[in-house]
Amino acid sequence: MNEFTDQMNQTIRLESPPRRIVSLVPSQTELLHYLGLEDEVVGITKFCIHPKEWHENKARIGGTKAVNLEKVLLLNPDLIIGNKEENTKEDIEMLKSVAPVWMSDIYDLSDAILMLREIGNMLGKSELTNALITEILSEFSKLDEFVETSSLKGKSALYFIWNDPGFVAGKSTFIDGMLSQCGLKNATRETRYPEVPLSSDGYRVQPDFVFLSSEPFPFEEKHIESFQKRYPNSKIVLVDGEMFSWYGSRLKDAPKYFQQLLESLV
C-alpha cells in the first residue's frame, strides 16, 4: 500500500500502480499522454481535446464541471485525477466513492512543477517528469532573461476569457501567474474571474494591452474592432489560451510562445 498526498493536502492510498485512470482536466490529460500512459488512461472529459486520437477514441465521462457518474462507474477506475478549479466540489466528493481521487491546485509555475513531480512519482514516471521539469525550467529561465531586458516589463494587460458577458482572468489564477512570467502586470486587481462591463464607455481600466484568449471563448479577428472602441488606448491582441492556462507538458513550449508574443507587441 502506497500513500500519496495531493495539492489539497489530501492523502490517497493505492494498493498497486494504477492501471485504469480517469482524467478530469484537459492539460493533465495531455500530460498523461506525454508520459506514455496510453493503456492506463481509460476515461477523459469532452474538453480533453489533446491529443486528438485520445479525444476521438477514449471514453468521455462528461465535462470538467459535469461529470457523468454512471459513465465513470462503468470504467471501473483505480485512480481519478482532477483539479480544484476545473472540477466541482460536488463531483469530486461523489467520485471519491468510486476510486481514489488525486487533486491538483495550481496558481503559478511552482505549483505546476510540483504537480508534475508528484504525478510522476505516483505513476512511476519520475524519470520522464524530472526530465520534463528540467526542460520547462530551462525554457522559463531563457524567458526570464528576455523579460529583464524587454521594454514591455511592467506594462499592463487585461486578459479576457469570455465575451458578453465579459470575464477576465484576475489575481489568484494560473493565467495571472503566466502574465507575471511575461513581465506584465495584470490590469485588474480583483481575484479569480471578475466580470467586466462591456458598455460603450469601456472598462474603468485602460491597460497597455487587451488580450483576447482563444479559450474558453474562441475570440477571433472579428471581435477586435469592438474591443478597440472600448479600449481606444490599448493594443488588442489575440492570444493562445492553451499557452496561458494549460499547466501540463505544454509548459515546455509556452516560454517560446510568450517571447514571440512579447516581441510582436513592441
Mean pLDDT of the chain: 95
Q: Is the dihedral of CA 133, 213, 38, 91 positive or negative?
A: positive
Region of 8 please: left (phi>0), alpha (psi -120 to 50) or beta. alpha
Domains recognised in the chain with CATH numbers: 2-105 (3.40.50.1980), 133-265 (3.40.50.1980)
Q: Is 189 left (phi over 0), alpha (psi -120 to 50) or beta?
A: alpha
pLDDT per residue as tens digits for the range 9-46: 999 999 999 999 999 999 999 999 999 999 999 999 99
Rounded average pLDDT per 10-residue block, the chain, 266 residues: 95 95 98 98 97 97 96 97 97 97 98 98 97 98 97 96 95 98 96 80 76 98 95 96 97 98 96
Separation CA 64–CA 48 (nearest Å): 9
pTM for the predicted model, two decimal places:
0.94
What's the chain's Rg over C-alpha atoms? 19
Helices and strands in the chain, H and E counts: 10, 15
